[in-house]
């Protein structure tokens, strides 16, 4: 397994109706890499400022996450502040400072270039492409994106989409990217742009997989302890890619199972702030919840 991931590290300040967390470890790279590391080793590409505590880097290294691609640059780490409403599907971004992430131009460590599995978390499609070009012979490439890049760097994004195997994005982004009015249609339109499969994340409503041969919808695992949904989409992608990186073929049954693992891993992640819940669990907890999830869906 050689899974490489490029994404962001951040300090997050999160307010929910019930609690608040101040400047906790966040960002897509944090959630993705920890979630994927339950399944096997992860190679991380990202950037932090000089204010990033060594303890955080050590935490990742203790998880079999190779941080050789994690640059430290003079300046501050990406900062995000947001608040959730009582309906936790709704959140408002109150503050974003890209800081050192704004100028990120990653160069891969030599020993990362043979990676077989590549996940390009949302970021500029030019940066995503630059990372992809440094991987010699990728076997499975999956990318995420977001509204900002769909609007402002559409041409670059379309170019990237012709080079990837799969795409992961949320429902709003799928509608924005394709102009479709319902989700199955949006999925089909994404396929027409290049990828062989697309996973559309629907937050607490689960996820939809669209391939040329079919459409699969899985619900979220109904945990009754939702403390903080921040990072759930990245944890989902981490669990999904972590599982796929243990496989040899990527057919519909494997993709579906990968989605199910992503769902289960993400359901743990939202049960506390930052990585707090992940740090309490192991693969045995994930397997046991996966079994419950499987039983719930057995008709």
For its own copies, the closer CB: 111 or 205: 205
Closest CA to 296 of 238, 207, 222: 222
Q: Could you tell me where the beta strands, DSSP code E, fall in 42-182? A: 42-49, 65-73, 78-84, 91-97, 117-120, 140-144, 166-170
**Residue window 169-188: x/- pattern of binding to its own copies, with contact defined by CB under 8 A:** ------x-----xxxxx--x
For its own copies, the closer CB: 55 or 298: 298
Is there binding between residue 216 and its own copies (CB under 8 A)?
yes
Q: Using CB under 8 A, count the residues that bind its own copies.
A: 38
Looking only at residues 34 through 53 of this chain, which bind its own copies when binding is defined by CB under 8 A? Answer: none
CA 66 to chain centre: 17
Answer for which of 36, 135, 220, 286 binds its own copies (CB under 8 A) is: 220
For CA atoms 17, 13, 220, 38, the dihedral sign is negative
Q: Are strands 207-211 and 214-218 parallel, antiparallel or unpaired?
A: antiparallel
Looking only at residues 230 through 289 of this chain, which bind its own copies when binding is defined by CB under 8 A? Answer: 256-257, 260
Is there binding between residue 219 and its own copies (CB under 8 A)?
yes
- Stretch of residues binding its own copies (CB under 8 A), selected from 41-49, 85-93, 140-148, 189-197: 85-93
In this structure, what token pair is assigned to residue 53?
Answer: 């505590």
3-state secondary structure of 88: coil
CB count within 10 Å of CB 18 equals 11
Is there binding between residue 19 and its own copies (CB under 8 A)?
no
For its own copies, the closer CB: 17 or 102: 17
User: How many CA within 13 A on the CB side of residue 107?
Assistant: 2
Answer for which of 74, 86, 93, 249 binds its own copies (CB under 8 A) is: 86
Under the rule (CB under 8 A), what is the footprint of its own copies?
Answer: 17, 86-88, 175, 181-185, 188, 202, 204-206, 208, 214-224, 226, 256-257, 260, 290, 293-294, 296-299
């Amino acid at each position: 397994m050689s899974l490489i991931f490029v994404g962001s590290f951040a300090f997050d300040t999160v307010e929910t109706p019930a609690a608040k967390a101040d400047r906790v470890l966040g960002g897509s790279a944090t959630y993705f890499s920890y979630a994927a590391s339950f399944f096997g080793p992860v190679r991380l590409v990202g950037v932090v400022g000089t204010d990033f505590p060594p303890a955080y880097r050590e935490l990742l290294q203790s998880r079999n996450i190779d941080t050789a691609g994690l640059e430290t640059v003079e300046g501050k780490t990406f900062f995000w502040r947001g608040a959730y409403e009582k309906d936790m599907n709704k959140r408002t971004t109150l503050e974003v400072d890209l800081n050192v992430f704004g100028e990120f131009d990653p160069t891969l460590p030599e020993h990362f270039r043979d990676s077989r599995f590549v996940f390009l978390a949302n970021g500029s499609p030019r940066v995503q492409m630059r990372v992809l070009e440094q991987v010699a012979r990728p076997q499975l490439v999956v990318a995420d994106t977001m509204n900002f890049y769909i609007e402002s760097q559409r041409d670059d994004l379309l170019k990237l989409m012709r080079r990837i195997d799969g795409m992961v994005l949320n429902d709003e982004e799928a509608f924005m990217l394709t102009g479709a009015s319902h989700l199955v249609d949006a999925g089909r339109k994404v396929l027409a742009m290049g990828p062989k499969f697309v996973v559309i994340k629907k937050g607490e409503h689960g996820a939809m997989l669209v391939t040329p041969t079919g459409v699969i919808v899985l619900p979220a695992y109904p945990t009754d302890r939702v403390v903080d949904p921040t990072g759930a989409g990245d944890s989902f992608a981490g669990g999904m890619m972590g599982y796929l990186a243990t496989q040899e073929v990527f057919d519909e049954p494997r993709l579906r199972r990968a989605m199910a693992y992503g769902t289960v891993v993400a359901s743990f992640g939202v049960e506390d702030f930052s990585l707090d819940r992940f740090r309490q669990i192991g693969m045995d907890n994930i397997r046991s919840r996966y079994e419950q999830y499987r039983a719930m869906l057995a008709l």
